[in-house]
Structure 1
Amino acid sequence: MEKSPQPTGSNSNRSYDATGSIETNVRDGFTLVAVGDLIVSRALTKGGHAGFGEIVNILQAADATFGNIETNIFDIRSFGGNPQAEYGGAYHVSLPEVGPDLKSMGFNLVSYANNHSFDWGIEGMRETCRALDKNGIVYAGVGENLAQAGAARFLETTRGRVALLSLASSFTPMSRACDPAGEAPGRPGVNGLRLARKILVRPDMLESLKYIYNALPGPRRDGEDQNKVVLGGATYCVGENAGYSFEPDSSDVADILRSIRRGKQFSDFCIVTNHGHQPGNWSQEPADYELSFAHSAIDAGADAYVAHGPHQLRGIEIYKGRPIFYGLGNFIMDDLRTPVGADMFAARGKDVGCDTEADVTADEMARGYETNPGFSSDTAFYESVITVSRFEHNELAELRLIPIELRQFERFANRGIPRLVSDVQANAILVRLQRLSEQFGTQIAIENGIGVIRLRPVCSDERLRTRI
């Protein structure tokens, strides 16, 4: 088979494969740091928070440092938008100084596709994009139409060009981007992956649901599927165990995989990220669809797949020598947001005329999000890891997992800011991650309070044999 022209540089032996995608093409020693959600409302590097400087040193040392920015950045005094009636569970907003502060921490890549991207409407999205652009932070996952939101964005590093493609499987329905159609313009929004949810029940449970369905008034159609019941907008089907199953929209998947292939063709290293809460923030297991979807992303050219959103750790898989993080938990949860929309006062049973914004935020943090009772009291939401992936000879050579905690029991002014942990707490975090990763065949060693996944380097002859 005739080969296409090869890229130049220290790794010029890398070739195009049969599909036209380019293999990993970074210089030896390339490192990717990936963390979870950045719920940050203020500048932290100037706060003198004990232990935070050690965290910053790790972030700054990598070639590419990624996190999910789950907030909006603007100055409310000059902001021209409004809090939206449809929002992601809370109105996340950050001071303008957060932009340069994230850059100072070492972040050069962020996802902005999540359920909070449109808490403050199109204006909030655009202000945040301007803040990220102004500070040289590459972001992906939102845009003025679906083509822009789904496109890969690029970071230039001394060890290779990095593509970032971000999507959200958890997003407010009205925030999904779309492309122009005829005379109708496109719609700004999020690069969304739509999921159809089925509730799995035992056969006897389904019969009970049929009884309720048949007792309710309304039209019936001939030939209705007897193996499912649609009741109250939810679809119930028979399963081995009660639970949830998700089917991704095939057209969304096709568009996303096409964008991954395109992004990889124009980069040396491609990162794909997904913000999703499924099956719920209570679950330490990924949704059933995500395993095959993550594999498809790697097959299409992704060099790393990073999931975030459930606010707690999920397992790690190494697939075809590339890391898949099914959930990296919280990295910063400095949720001192103000202002908040009037809708949150009503949701918390507060009087807008009497109670303060601080009361609403504090009440939410104390009681937990309505969709996730115990959010603020469960230690799992305040413990996570910093992942450091190092590549040699264009293969993942080592993955280090550095345990952190977010000061769960400190006052609100100091809570949610990460610091390193050691000894008993570090071991507990890593043992939990070992357990969550076992199902994927991933072996995590614990060495001096750090998790380590080592992969045997693959020689060029072995790589050649695998392509034949």
Structure 2
Amino acid sequence: MRRNRLPLSSLTFAGIAAGLAAGLALAAGTALATPTSLEAQAFEDARGNMSIALAGDAIISRKMSPYREPEFLALRDIIESATTAFVNLEILFHDYEDDVIPAAASGGTYMRAEPEIAHELAWFGFDMVSLANNHTMDFGAGGARRTVAAAEAAGLAVAGFGENLARARAPAYVDTPGGRVALISIASTFADAMRAGHQRPDVRGRPGLSPIRYERHVTVTADQMAGLRDALSVAGRGGGSGPRLNFGGMTFMEGSKPGVKTVPHAGDLAEIIEVVKEAQRQAEWVIVTSHSHEGADRREVPADFLVDVARAVVEAGADMFVGHGPHILRAVEMYQGKPIFYSLANFAMQNETIEFQPQDNYEAQGLGYEDLPGRFQDVRIERAGASSFPAGKGFWESVVPVVEYEDGKLKEIQLHPITMGWQLPRPVRGRPMMADDALGQEILEGLAKLSAEFGTTMTIEDGVGVIRP
């Protein structure tokens, strides 16, 4: 429950006063003009005052409500005190029911938590979640349906999955004291079988996630293009002619400077933009969120297509774009006066304590039926070495932004640094809490440096990152 609702008594008295004023005006034979300031005050959600807390990937497999550290409860207070709060749901809620069947391919770990864990996110203060990510279909449509049911039972609005593409693309709406919020969830990182399909009059649609696909455009020299055509000809594929060549899911083009650029799938982007426009008609605030692992020449820098998508949805009317997926922080950009968070990294990282995994994952690590989940995690981490999640310090650090609006205009963004316990024992690490002063300063300075590459100025004030328009 939010603590900043307008008291019922205030609404009642305001309504009575407005009614008396209207009655006196009619009695005097005068026409009612625009609403008085007293009448406008009665509608709190029309004032344009709003605070939105945001978080990255929630891989939450265990209860959080039993813990009582001041740094932990302080983080909860920040989220719960906002008018509304969002997090990406990168876990599935189910009990391995008959309709919950492991897919042949997953997003890595086959994600699962007890359905009751959904209430832990509500306890933390969240009220809307995105479900379009590379784990949406780890356990098929049955697992995704069970997840939506458990999340909604906990009071969470869910976007990003549907029984067909139109439903997957559709916004989820949340009514708050600061106004109605539309959440649109998309993903660029997924196995192709996970994406939802359009419904026809004669064939039902395919359940799945809302995709934003992308294409790779590779620029090569004329000599390189000739060599590629010759190689394809030898392979019996045919090289064709002209300045472009499509092969292996990529488009090759002749140019003076070799390079690779990613561009959004035109059809997907057009559909998403129409959904943004529809959401703008039906809500006062529009959030678009994308789960995207893809980076540029550095993992910390978003891929070209993601920058294009983020800016396009802002141009279409979204109030902000929220990225997650690579499990590390990326820049904050202010574009046309609106925030773009290219990645908020993680909020919870408890994938190591998920109880069961399908045999496919054990076989991938050279393990047999006699091995158990703890052993699976040991071998997986040992094989990955320095590239594993537990080894990377940046995977265990992030920020929780709170975006503040006043009179419908962006006032400021506060970025609160958090830690999930890098190098702590497996049963402990993964739960978020406020970072201490030294670590918080390090996190914020790193984010400020990344954001400066996009022209964003961020100051650090009393241990909090601040961005002002």
TM class, shorter-chain normalised? 0.7 to 0.9
* TM value normalised by structure 2: 0.85
Q: Is the 8 A contact 1:206 1:229 kept in 2?
A: no
**Which of 182, 197, 208 is residue 201 of structure 2 equivalent to?**
182
Corresponding residue number in structure 2 for 1:279: 295
Residues 42 and 97 of structure 1 are in contact (CA less than 8 Å); yes or no, is this contact kept in structure 2? no
1:265 aligns with one of 268, 273, 281: 281
1:99-124 deviation line (CA, Å, top 9, x unaligned): 11111111101100111000000100
Question: 1:257: Cα distance to partner?
Answer: 0.6
Q: Distance in 2 between matches of 1:221 and 1:200?
A: 16
Q: What is the identity, as a one-letter code, of the residue corresponding to 2:278?
A: R
Query: Does the CA-based 8 Å contact 2:289-2:323 persist in structure 1?
Result: yes
26-35 or 426-435: which moved more?
26-35
Give deviations 1:5-38, integer Å, cap 9, x for gaps.
Answer: x99999979xxxxxxxxxxx75354100111000
User: Secondary structure, in 3 states, of the residue corresponding to 2:53?
Assistant: strand
Of 31, 35, 50 in structure 2, the residue corresponding to residue 30 of structure 1 is 50
Q: Which residue of 2 aligns with 1:151?
A: 170
Distance 1:420-1:122 versus aligned 2 partners, 3 A rule: same
Match among 341, 360, 379 for residue 358 of structure 2:
341
Match of 2:59 in 1: 39
Question: 2:344 and 2:444 mapped to 1: Cα distance?
Answer: 13
Superposition map of 1:217-228 within 5 A:
217-223=235-241, 225=242
CA-CA distance at 1:398 after TM superposition: 0.6
User: In the alignment, which of 413, 426, 430 is matched to residue 416 of structure 1?
Assistant: 430
Q: When the two structures are aligned, how many residues end up with a matched partner?
A: 432
- Determine whether 1:252 maps to 2:245: no
Amino acid at match of 2:367: K
On the 8 A contact 1:33/1:65 being kept in 2, the answer is yes
- 1:20-419 matches, cutoff 5 A: 27-48=47-68, 51-76=71-96, 78-199=97-218, 212-214=231-233, 216-223=234-241, 225=242, 230=247, 234-237=250-253, 244-279=260-295, 283-335=299-351, 336-351=353-368, 353-368=369-384, 373-419=387-433
Q: CA deviation at 1:161?
A: 0.7
**Which amino acid is 1:272 matched to?**
V
Secondary structure in 1 matching 2:199: coil
In 1, Cα distance between the equivalents of 2:46 and 2:318? 13
Going from structure 1 to structure 2, the CA distance change for 1:295 and 1:235 (only over 3 Å counts) comes to: closer
Determine what percentage of the aligned residue pairs are the same residue.
34
Structure 2 distance, partners of 1:100, 1:7, is 41
Alpha carbons 1:37, 1:332 under 8 Å: kept: yes
Contact map agreement 2:328 2:344 (CA 8 A) in 1? yes
By how many angstroms is 1:431 displaced? 1.2
Write the deviation string for residues 293-321 of structure 1: whole angstroms up to 9, x where unpaired.
21221121111110111111110111222
Q: Distance in 2 between matches of 1:186 and 1:251?
A: 17
Q: Which has the larger radius of gyration?
A: 2
* C-alpha deviation, 1:235, in angstroms: 4.8
Task: For residues 43-87 of structure 1, give each alpha carbon's deviation from its aligned partner in whole angstroms, at most 9, with x where no partner exists.
Answer: 2112446732221111111111001000100113x4532111021
Q: Cα deviation per residue 1:154-177 (whole Å; 9 max; x = unaligned)?
A: 101111111111111112211111
Q: Give unmatched runs, 5+ long, in structure 1.
A: 1-5, 14-24, 456-468
Partner secondary structure for residue 115 of structure 2: coil
CA distance in 2 between counterparts of 1:357 and 1:267 reads 44
Q: CA deviation at 1:418?
A: 1.1
Q: Counterpart in 2 of 1:461?
A: none
- 1:427-442 superposed matches below 5 A: 427-442=441-456
TM-score normalised by L of structure 1 = 0.85
Distance 1:386 1:85, change over 3 A: same
> After superposition, what is the alpha-carbon deviation per residue over 1:404-426, rounded to whole angstroms, capped at 9, x for unaligned?
11101111101111111133221
The answer (yes or no) to whether the contact 2:244–2:251 under 8 Å persists in 1 is no
Q: Aligned with 2:276: secondary structure?
A: helix
